[in-house]
């Protein structure tokens, strides 16, 4: 429901165990317009209400009796009858893993308690106005695949290792080392341990020296160290803590103390790991945004400037039909280029979000290629490139016509721009096993530096400010149509891209 249709009657399901909070949420929800409120205090009851009520919006707490909020969300998204319903999650905690699990499961909005009615209302309006996100494939399994903490126990007495390993083995992946040298080797190998339980008194290399080496090496300094020590080793414990150890456990090991100390530090390890992942994601998103902005600078703003320039020249030569037609053709070509770019971006975003609805039909391949070549005629003419369209006129494939046009435009344009040695692009096809395979061949090889990344996002070479989205887009759009794409490239034969699609 958008602002333009706020008069529409909707039913809101509020799932919250505390009655006072339910009442506050209900009062706020009614500000959306003509709203009927259905209330529930637990997840099982909410699921039952969803089976016999036509619900338009769900507002649910994470911590619920009987069936928690994330399980309810996953059930809603996996049920065809309810998958389209916006789902707003509320929670008193902001644990990153919980938020990520909710996002993967298709949550519309995530609100941290306590919140004001104004914040709640704005989030509800936003949830109703934007498309519902689908649950990620295998999101439930992904969410459950938590990082398994690796613990290394280091002690020169094998019985001590066995005792501690038996205490921890149920909850952690435990490795062992009988001396400091072996411990350092294990810490340098992948997968590295997250936490080391390190005996202080060992022959040859004691725990203090092992800790010192771990904390002085950039490759291992992040590993958490807890000392195992006798009560009288206070001086050594202090030295170890000064070197970077975080805690100590006295021997003989008490199972409850070992479990609680290890569990506490593993929570900190997991929190740091999630924070690092979050920072990496933020940095990657910032990088992608910069690349996206640069792409738009070239592929939207530059053509608009060309259109403005051609329009000005057109107005100066209205009485000269031949020149006027040239400028008009120029304007039309750039308008087509802009429209294609916008269509590409919309289709690509929908496909990446798994929201694109295919429209499969039988498509005459030769006609689509001729249409693509007509749209690229300004490049063909300017660069004086010869086109060999060897497709049979009767060749037909099954696909989505808009996506296929975009795929072929991207690949043929890529071939045209890479035709430097010989000004020739050859297009042909072969048929086998209910598949037509289209071939687009140009004379120049893909540069070795990007050959292994040819279909990756934002990869480009020697094309100025071009976005590097062409081949990535072509691959995604081809696969969406149940086709596949591959290539071969070498210095002798040039580059040949193959697009295989079902026979129409």
How far apart, in whole angstroms, are the C-alpha atoms of residue 154 and residue 161? 7
pTM of the model: 0.43
Give yes or no: residues 312 and 281 share one domain.
yes
How far apart, in whole angstroms, are the C-alpha atoms of residue 25 and residue 265? 38
Percent of the chain exceeding pLDDT 70 equals 86
State CA 128 to chain mean position distance. 23
Q: Quote the pLDDT of residue 457.
A: 67
Q: Is residue 264 one of the residues assigned to a domain?
A: no
Q: Is residue 44 one of the residues assigned to a domain?
A: yes
Q: Is residue 376 pLDDT above 80, yes or no?
A: yes
Give yes or no: residues 318 and 427 share one domain.
no
Q: Is it true that the peptide bond before 252 is cis, omega within 30 degrees of 0?
A: yes
- Give the angle subtended at the CA of 273 by the CAs of 271 and 277, to the nearest 5°: 115
Q: Quote the pLDDT of residue 277.
A: 67
State the angle between helix axes of 234-243 and 207-216 in degrees (0 to 180), rounded to the nearest 10.
10
How far apart, in whole angstroms, are the C-alpha atoms of residue 106 and residue 132? 8
Instruction: Identify the residue with better confidence: 167 or 138.
Output: 167
Q: Is residue 267 one of the residues assigned to a domain?
A: no
Give yes or no: residues 37 and 161 share one domain.
no
Q: Name the residue among 128, 71, 79 with its Cα closest to residue 105.
A: 71
The DSSP code for 111 is E
How far apart, in whole angstroms, are the C-alpha atoms of residue 1 and residue 80? 20
How far apart, in whole angstroms, are the C-alpha atoms of residue 234 and residue 251? 13
Q: Is residue 435 one of the residues assigned to a domain?
A: yes
How far apart, in whole angstroms, are the C-alpha atoms of residue 344 and residue 335? 14
Give yes or no: residues 363 and 442 share one domain.
yes
Give yes or no: residues 83 and 171 share one domain.
no
Q: Is residue 457 one of the residues assigned to a domain?
A: yes
The number of distinct structural domains making up the chain is 4
Residue where the block lists tokens 């040949």: 496
Tally of CB atoms within 10 A around 273 = 16
Q: Which domain holds residue 281?
A: 275-350
Report the pLDDT averaged over residues 81-85. 91
CA dihedral 19, 21, 23, 25 (to 10 degrees): -140
Average pLDDT, the chain: 84
Q: Quote the pLDDT of residue 281.
A: 62
Most confidently modeled range among 5-19, 28-42, 378-392: 28-42
Give yes or no: residues 426 and 483 share one domain.
yes
- Strand (E) or helix (H) holding 136: none
Give yes or no: residues 283 and 237 share one domain.
no
**Domain ends where: 350, 375, 402?**
350
Give yes or no: residues 66 and 178 share one domain.
no
**Domain ends where: 91, 123, 144?**
144
Tens digit of each residue's pLDDT (9 = 90 or more) over 271-314? 777 776 666 666 566 655 665 666 566 667 767 888 888 888 88
Give yes or no: residues 297 and 361 share one domain.
no
Q: Quote the pLDDT of residue 118.
A: 84
How far apart, in whole angstroms, are the C-alpha atoms of residue 183 and residue 203? 13
Q: Quote the pLDDT of residue 294.
A: 61
List residues bridging with 36 in a β-sheet: 11
Q: Quote the pLDDT of residue 139.
A: 45
Q: Is residue 269 one of the residues assigned to a domain?
A: no
How far apart, in whole angstroms, are the C-alpha atoms of residue 186 and residue 181? 9
How far apart, in whole angstroms, are the C-alpha atoms of residue 153 and residue 161? 6
Give yes or no: residues 380 and 489 share one domain.
yes
Is residue 481 classed exposed, middle or buried when 0-12, 13-18 and 19+ CB atoms within 10 A define those classes? buried
Give yes or no: residues 475 and 386 share one domain.
yes
Give yes or no: residues 131 and 168 share one domain.
no
How far apart, in whole angstroms, are the C-alpha atoms of residue 477 and residue 481? 7
List residues bridging with 364 in a β-sheet: 396
Integer angstrom CA distances of residue 263 from 153, 168, 192, 195: 15, 10, 18, 11
How far apart, in whole angstroms, are the C-alpha atoms of residue 444 and residue 428? 18
Q: Is residue 259 one of the residues assigned to a domain?
A: no
Q: Name the residue among 386, 287, 311, 298 with its Cα closest to residue 337.
A: 298
Tokens of 13: 């399901």
Residue where the block lists tokens 């080391």: 196
Residue where the block lists tokens 């001729």: 370
Q: Quote the pLDDT of residue 166.
A: 94
How far apart, in whole angstroms, are the C-alpha atoms of residue 246 and residue 146? 24
Domain of 407, CATH number, reads 3.30.565.10
| Helix boundaries (H) for 96-151 | 96-104, 117-129, 139-144
In total, the chain counts a number of residues equal to: 504
List residues bridging with 199 in a β-sheet: 228
Q: Is residue 486 one of the residues assigned to a domain?
A: yes
List residues bridging with 398 in a β-sheet: 362
Report the pLDDT averaged over residues 251-271. 89
Q: Quote the pLDDT of residue 280.
A: 62
Q: 327: pLDDT confidence band, cut at 50, 70 and 90?
A: confident
Q: Is residue 145 pLDDT above 50, yes or no?
A: no
CA dihedral 77, 82, 83, 86 (to 10 degrees): -90
Strands 150-154 vs 173-177: parallel, antiparallel or unpaired: parallel
CB contact set of 409 (below 8 Å; sequence gap of 6+): 340, 372, 375, 376
Tens digit of each residue's pLDDT (9 = 90 or more) over 406-447? 889 889 988 998 888 888 999 999 888 788 899 999 988 888
State CA 258 to chain mean position distance. 38
Domain of 217, CATH number, reads 3.40.50.2300
Q: Which residues of 66-82 are buried (b: 16+ CB within 10 A; e: fewer)?
A: ebbbbbbbbbbbeeeeb
């Amino acid at each position: 429901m958008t602002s333009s249709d706020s008069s529409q009657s909707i039913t809101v399901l509020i799932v919250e165990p505390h009655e006072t909070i339910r009442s506050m949420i209900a009062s706020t929800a009614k500000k959306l317009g003509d709203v009927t409120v259905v209330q529930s205090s637990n997840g099982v009851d909410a699921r039952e209400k969803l089976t016999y009520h036509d619900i338009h919006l769900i507002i649910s707490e994470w911590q619920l009796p009987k069936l928690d909020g994330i399980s309810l969300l996953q059930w809603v998204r996996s049920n065809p009858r309810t998958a389209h319903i916006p789902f707003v999650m509320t929670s008193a905690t902001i644990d990153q893993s919980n938020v990520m699990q909710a996002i993967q499961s298709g949550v519309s909005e995530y609100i941290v308690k306590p919140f004001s009615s104004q914040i709640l209302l704005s989030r509800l309006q936003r949830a109703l106005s934007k498309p519902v996100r689908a649950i990620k494939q295998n999101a439930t399994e992904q969410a459950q695949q938590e990082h398994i903490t690796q613990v290394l126990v280091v002690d020169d007495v094998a019985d001590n290792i066995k005792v501690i390993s038996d205490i921890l083995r149920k909850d952690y992946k435990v490795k062992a080392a009988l001396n400091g040298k072996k411990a350092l080797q294990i810490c340098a190998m992948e997968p590295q341990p997250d936490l080391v339980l390190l005996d202080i008194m060992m022959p040859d290399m004691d725990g203090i020296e092992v800790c010192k080496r771990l904390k002085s090496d950039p490759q291992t300094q992040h590993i958490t160290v807890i000392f195992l020590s006798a009560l009288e080793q206070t001086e050594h414990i202090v030295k170890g803590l000064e070197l970077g150890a975080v805690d100590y456990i006295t021997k003989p090991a008490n199972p409850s103390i070992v479990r609680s100390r290890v569990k506490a530090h593993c929570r900190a390890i997991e929190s740091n790991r999630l924070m690092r992942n979050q920072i990496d994601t933020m940095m990657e998103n910032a990088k992608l945004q910069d690349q996206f902005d640069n792409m738009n600078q070239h592929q939207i703003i530059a053509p608009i400037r060309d259109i403005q320039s051609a329009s000005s020249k057109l107005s100066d030569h209205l009485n000269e039909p031949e020149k006027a037609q040239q400028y008009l053709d120029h304007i039309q070509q750039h308008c087509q280029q802009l429209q294609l770019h916008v269509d590409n971006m919309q289709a690509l975003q929908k496909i990446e979000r798994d929201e694109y609805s295919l429209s499969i039909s039988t498509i005459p391949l030769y006609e689509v290629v001729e249409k693509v070549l007509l749209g690229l005629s300004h490049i063909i003419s300017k660069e004086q490139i010869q086109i060999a369209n060897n497709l049979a006129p009767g060749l037909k494939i099954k696909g989505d016509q808009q996506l296929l046009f975009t795929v072929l435009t991207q690949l043929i344009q890529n071939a045209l721009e890479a035709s430097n040695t010989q000004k020739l692009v050859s297009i042909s096809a072969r048929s086998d096993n209910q598949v037509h395979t289209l071939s687009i061949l140009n004379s120049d090889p893909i540069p070795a530096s990007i050959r292994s990344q040819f279909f990756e996002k934002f990869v480009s070479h020697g094309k100025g400010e071009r976005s590097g989205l062409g081949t990535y887009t072509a691959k995604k759009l081809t696969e969406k149509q149940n086709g596949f794409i591959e290539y071969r490239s070498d210095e002798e034969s040039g580059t040949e891209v193959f697009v295989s699609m079902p026979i129409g």
